[in-house]
Amino acid sequence: MNLVARVLLLLSLLPTAGCVTRPPSIAHVHLGHALTAVHVTPNRDGYLVVAQTRAEEAHAASLRAQTSGTLDELKVNVATVVAASSSEEGFGLKQSLVLAANHVSFAATSEDASANVRQAAPVFAQDISRLVERCELVALLGKDVALSDSREEAALLAEEIDKLTLANLQGEDVDSDGKVGAAPTEYGVKQLRAEFDTMIAREDPPYRTVDQWYLFNLVRLPSGRWVFDKLNRGGNIEGYK
Amino acid sequence: MRLAWATLPVLYLMATSAFAHEGECKTEPSPAAHDAQQALQANPNDLSARLKLADAQIADSCYEDAIHTLQEGEALHGRNQQLQARLREAQSMLRERSYFEGLDRAEQAAKISRSLLRCNKLADIDACDQALALQPDDIRVVIAKADALMQAKRPTDALAIYRRAQQLAPDDSTIAAKLSAADTQSRELLAACMNSTGQPALQACQSRRARGAEHEFDILKRIGTLQQAANQPEAALDSFIAASLLQPADRSVARSIVGLSTSTGRNDALTLAARGSALLTLDRAMDALTPLKQAVALTPDLPEARVQLERAERLAKAHAKQVLDKHRQVAVVGDTIPAVMRTQPVQTAAPPRQYSNAAPVNNSN
């Protein structure tokens, strides 16, 4: 290949490279916090990923609680369920879902948000309600178990907690129509994730996995505008440090 | 640190709502909104006045109004950037408010579910009451409470609640069946209460007893009798006092109260008032004075004791007058008796005995 051909080949690749390095939209970065990664969570997982993990942990612990031999053992397992469901410090399921909804809401209020995201954000925020309610109930019943001195009562409550954790994971069939998770009042993490994925799939231009640099360097200015921390000043959604 | 990071988005949203857009839309527009409204009315094409009005409406938490103001402006100013930015903000705030309302509702719903669960599965009547306090007309909660009362073997209490459920859902056949079952159980308990003896009878009476229900007086009286037979004088006294409140004129209950208050030696205000009332029922007004005075001295706020005391004093005076009149008659008749006998003074009615409020209750008073 002569020199001219090589230069032409190189020039033909440039536009492609330009597309790859073009920054994502601010709205998509917020969606990426829910979906892919965010720097505050354990393992920097996205909030929905954390929600899925916590829902699985809660259900596993509730199954262990059901087979606990002693009241003390049962109480320990239920305490684990409660932490996985509603701990704020440990990004429990409830907290992770609320944060995911917050970031979808941030996406919707970004200047570059698509109509699709603007319409979907309030629906998504509304649809986490049933899961949040179950997490609240798990916490309340968990307190009852912690205070109970009756093995029988604690076992009965643990059984109810198990139903709630399973519903949070897979959804439930409230209206007994044979369909699990058919309506938002029946949603678990599975259906919520599907709703989110459907919203992402509707994006035009399409949503592409956001590079971690963008995910971890989004900053909110005092004016309310979102920018990337290109000068590496350090900051977060509250603004530059 | 991790907590701080994690809560930042929530705090941001909450802070934005709390400080800039707190609460519901104000009924009266703020001075800023009022001024901007006037400026806009004077010149509807003034974009600056429109934006000021929208800002004031957002600050007053009147997001719907702000959206309306800005959407009207779209027709005049097209896709103006400032207008669009404010429109987005107002729409976002409106969504955010309903989002937080949704979270609050979830918390409230969880509390109700917890109370319902404890009410249904553990027959926890306090939990039933908590759920009812939050949702008084929720048929599920009303039925759950009645079911819990049935589980607690209190069919008469359950009956009243099932009747309330039937008012809320007249066509529900399951409620009718539950009502019937509660009624049958209530009748069986009443029969066991009145016809059996010993502890089984006592248990049946206590289960059957319900405030304001049919046969309440008879059941209380029976409970008192059974407790007395079981050598529980204090409890028996309480039962008879409760019965006397329903039928103060019942002489057998009054006799039991006098007897048991004497044997137990109880001298609290309620017992003294009950004893005084019982003595009045037994036409012993003079004897009733002391316990009633003591009851009023111990607890001046006992209104019934004060009324009974006034009654006792009236009756005692009337009784003293009667005795005096009787002696006067004897004296008149005495004019015809021999003089030697008249030299003896005619014994008039003894003056009313002096009672001390501090005097302890004993067999003589």
pLDDT tens digits for range B212-222 = 778 899 999 99
More confident residue, B347 or A181: A181
Please give the average per-residue pLDDT across B86-112, as a whole number: 82
- What is the signed CA dihedral for B303, B306, B312, B315, rounded to 10 degrees? -90
pLDDT of residue A67 exceeding 90, the answer is: yes
Alpha-carbon gap: A35 to the closest alpha carbon of chain B (Å):
16
In single-letter form, the type of residue at position B212 comes to G
Q: How far is the CA of A165 from the CAs of A61, A65, A126, B310, in angstroms? A: 9, 12, 20, 67
Residue A237: pLDDT band (50, 70, 90) is: low
Contacts of A150 in chain B (CB under 8 A): none
Contacts of B12 in chain A (CB under 8 A): 237-238
- Give phi and psi for A45, each to the nearest 5: -75, 155
Question: pLDDT value at position B61?
Answer: 84
pLDDT of residue A215 exceeding 90, the answer is: no
Concatenated DSSP letters of B265-314: ---SHHHHHHHHHHHHHTT-HHHHHHHHHHHHHH-TT-HHHHHHHHHHHH
Nearest to B260 by CA among B247, B243, B246: B243
Q: What is the pTM of this model?
A: 0.64
Alpha-carbon gap: A100 to the closest alpha carbon of chain B (Å):
10
Question: pLDDT value at position A7?
Answer: 54
Residue ranges in chain A assigned as alpha helix (H): 3-21, 26-35, 47-66, 71-86, 93-109, 115-127, 129-147, 151-170, 189-201, 212-216
Question: pLDDT value at position B3?
Answer: 36
Residue A174: pLDDT band (50, 70, 90) is: very high
**Chain B interface, mutation test: which of A102, A145, A168, A218, most B Cβ atoms within 10 Å?**
A102
Would you call A153 an interface residue with chain B, using a CB distance cutoff of 8 Å?
yes
Contacts of A103 in chain B (CB under 8 A): 9
Question: pLDDT value at position B359?
Answer: 46
Question: pLDDT value at position A172?
Answer: 96
Residue B30: pLDDT band (50, 70, 90) is: confident
Task: Give B82's contacts (C-beta < 8 A, 6+ positions apart).
Answer: B47, B51
CA distance B296 to A34: 72
How high is the mean pLDDT of chain B? 82
- Give phi and psi for A228, each to the nearest 5: -90, 145
Phi-psi label, residue A44: left if phi above 0, alpha if psi -120 to 50, beta otherwise: left
Nearest to A137 by CA among A103, A86, A63: A86
pLDDT of residue B346 exceeding 50, the answer is: no
Question: pLDDT value at position B342?
Answer: 45
Residues paired with A236 in a beta bridge: A239
More confident residue, B145 or A21: B145
Task: Give A166's contacts (C-beta < 8 A, 6+ positions apart).
Answer: A59, A62, A172
Question: pLDDT value at position B135?
Answer: 84
Question: pLDDT value at position A92?
Answer: 95
Please give the average per-residue pLDDT across A71-84, as a whole number: 97
CA distance B169 to B140: 10
Contacts of B13 in chain A (CB under 8 A): 102, 105
Question: pLDDT value at position B332?
Answer: 64
ipTM of the complex: 0.80
Please give the average per-residue pLDDT across A84-90, as a whole number: 91
More confident residue, B213 or A193: A193
B115 neighbors B128 (Cβ within 8 angstroms):
yes
pLDDT of residue B8 exceeding 70, the answer is: no
Please give the average per-residue pLDDT across B237-241, as a whole number: 96
